[in-house]
Amino acid sequence: MADSRVVKLAGILVNHSLALKKGETVLITASSELAKPLVLEVYKEVMKKGGNPLLNIGLEEANNIFFDNASKTQLDHFPKTKLYEAKNVDCVVNIRAPHNKKSMSRIDPTKAGLRSKVMSPIGEVIVNKTRWVLCNFPTHALAQEADMSLAEYEDFLYGATNIDWSKVRAREMKLKKVLDKGSTVRIVGKETDLTLSIKGRDAIPCCGRRNMPDGEVFLSPVENSAEGHIFYEMPAIYQGREVTGIRLRFKKGKVVEASADKNEDFLISMLDTDKGGRFLGELGIAVNYGIKNFSKDILFDEKIGGTVHLAVGRSYIEAGGKNKSAIHWDMIKDLRKKGALYVDDKLIQKNGRFCL
C-alpha cells in the first residue's frame, strides 16, 4: 500500500504545481529507479486527470560511464530527439532520487561544462516554454547529506511539501508588491555589500508551482547592474562539487574577481563556461521559515527564511531576464546574523526578519 504522504504529494504536483488539464502531455522524469513510488503515483494522477504521461527513468551510473568514455565528438553530440520531446510536451515533473550525491564529483569539470553548453537548448525550452516542477523523493543519500536518518528526512521533506500553498502565496504577494515598485536592491552582511538594479523587472512569487518545496520571491536583476562584493557562508554545490568560502566581486554586472576556500578551480571553470557565466541571472529572497537548517540541497536551502540567493548564469525569461548561459548556479547568502536587505534604501529585512 502506498504511503499516504506520497499520494498527497503526487496530487499536489499534478493538480497544484502543474494545474494539469485534460489532454495535456506530461513528461515524468526521475534520476533513478529509487523514485518509483512517487513516479507511479504521479503517473496514476495524470491518468485520472485525463492527461498523457511519458516516462524517463535515469540510471545514475550512466553519467559516469558517459563522461569517463566520451570522445570530443560524443561530448559535442546534440540529441535532436530530446529537443523534439521538450518542444512537444506540455508539462514536466522532474524527480530527484539519488543513490550517491557525490557520484559526479570526480568528473572533469571541463567536460561537464562543455556538455552543459551542448545540452542548454533543451533546458531552455523546458524552463521557459513548459510548465515544470522539480522535487525530491527521500533516499538514503539525501538523508545522509542532510545529517538525518531516512525517517527523519521523510518527515522533513513531506512537512515542507504537503502544506497549504495558497497561504504561502498570500504572504509572498506582499513582498512582490515592494519589489515591483523598487529600482534597486542592496544586500549587506558579513563581508558583503552588493547593490543591483531591479528596475522594470517583475518579481515572481513561488508557492509550489516550479519547486517543491517552495517559498521564495525571485526576479532577474538588470544584467549590467551588480556592483560590490559578496561572501557566501553556506557551501555552494553544483554538479556534485561542493565549493566553500566563495567570494565574488562585481563591476558593471560582471564577476571580475572570484575566489573560494575549497574547489576554487571548479568555481572559476564554471564561471568561464560561456559569456553569460559571470553575470547574474537571478536574485531570490527566501520566505520559508519552516526550513531552518542547511541540508546541502539547493531545493530546500534556497528557501530558508532569512536568506537570499543569487544565481550566476541563465536568467528566467518570465522574470524579464536577458542573460544566456549554459549554467544556472544558485549561491546562498545568510542574512540571519547581522544581515540587512534594502529596497531603494528602505530597510525591508533585518537579521533575517522582514519589517515590511
pLDDT tens digits along 24-56: 999 999 999 999 999 999 999 999 999 999 999
* pLDDT score recorded for residue 316: 87
In Å, how far are 144, 274, 324, 328 from 285, measured between CA atoms? Answer: 27, 26, 22, 16
Band the pLDDT of 103: cuts 50, 70, 90.
confident
**Residue 348 belongs to what domain range?**
165-354
CB 178 within 8 A of CB 217: no
Residue 314 backbone zone (phi > 0: left; psi -120 to 50: alpha; other: beta): beta
* pLDDT score recorded for residue 131: 93
Question: Are 188 and 61 contained in the same domain?
Answer: no
Indicate which CATH number applies to the domain containing 15. 3.40.1830.10
SS3 for 112-151, per residue?
HHHHHHHHHHHHHHHHHHCEEEEEECCCHHHHHHCCCCHH
pLDDT of 99 over the 90 cut: yes
Question: Are 326 and 245 contained in the same domain?
Answer: yes
Residue 222 corresponds to which cell in the numbers above? 538588470
Residue 125 corresponds to which cell in the numbers above? 525550452
Question: Are 103 and 188 contained in the same domain?
Answer: no
Domain boundary among 161, 183, 205: 161
Which pTM does this prediction carry?
Answer: 0.77
Q: Any idea which residue has 533575517 for its cell? A: 352
* pLDDT score recorded for residue 139: 97
For 231, list phi and psi in degrees, rounded to 5: -120, 135
Question: Are 123 and 183 contained in the same domain?
Answer: no
* pLDDT score recorded for residue 324: 93
* pLDDT score recorded for residue 27: 97
* pLDDT score recorded for residue 205: 94
Question: Are 223 and 80 contained in the same domain?
Answer: no
pLDDT of 1 over the 80 cut: no
Mean pLDDT of 209-224: 94
Mean pLDDT of 2-13: 95
* pLDDT score recorded for residue 199: 95
Q: How far apart are the first and last CA of the chain?
A: 46
CA distance 159 to 182: 34
Residue 305 corresponds to which cell in the numbers above? 527564511
* pLDDT score recorded for residue 176: 95
**Strand duo 328-334 + 254-259: pairing:** unpaired
Question: Are 181 and 141 contained in the same domain?
Answer: no
Residue 26 corresponds to which cell in the numbers above? 506530461
* pLDDT score recorded for residue 17: 95
* pLDDT score recorded for residue 170: 86
Domain boundary among 161, 190, 214: 161
Band the pLDDT of 317: cuts 50, 70, 90.
confident
- Specify the 3-state DSSP secondary structure of 27: strand
pLDDT tens track for 123-179: 889 988 899 999 999 999 999 989 999 999 999 999 889 988 988 888 899 999 999
* pLDDT score recorded for residue 182: 95
Question: Are 141 and 178 contained in the same domain?
Answer: no
Q: Which H/E stretch holds residue 175?
A: helix 165-181
Domain boundary among 124, 144, 161: 161
Question: Are 226 and 314 contained in the same domain?
Answer: yes
**Higher-confidence position of 297 and 195:** 195
Mean pLDDT of the chain: 93
CA 50 to chain centre: 29
* pLDDT score recorded for residue 32: 94
| Number of separate domains in the chain | 2
Mean pLDDT of 168-193: 95
Contacts of 34 (CB under 8 A, 6+ apart): 97, 98, 99, 137, 139
Give the whole-number percent of the chain exceeding pLDDT 90. 80
Give the whole-number percent of the chain exceeding pLDDT 70. 100
* pLDDT score recorded for residue 204: 93
pLDDT tens track for 259-312: 999 999 999 999 999 999 999 999 999 998 888 888 888 889 999 999 999 999
CA distance 209 to 13: 8
Q: Which H/E stretch holds residue 60?
A: helix 60-69
Question: Are 336 and 190 contained in the same domain?
Answer: yes
Question: Are 134 and 257 contained in the same domain?
Answer: no
* pLDDT score recorded for residue 113: 84
* pLDDT score recorded for residue 200: 93
**Strand duo 241-243 + 236-238: pairing:** antiparallel
| CB-side neighbour CA atoms (13 Å) of 254 | 6
Residue 243 corresponds to which cell in the numbers above? 565549493
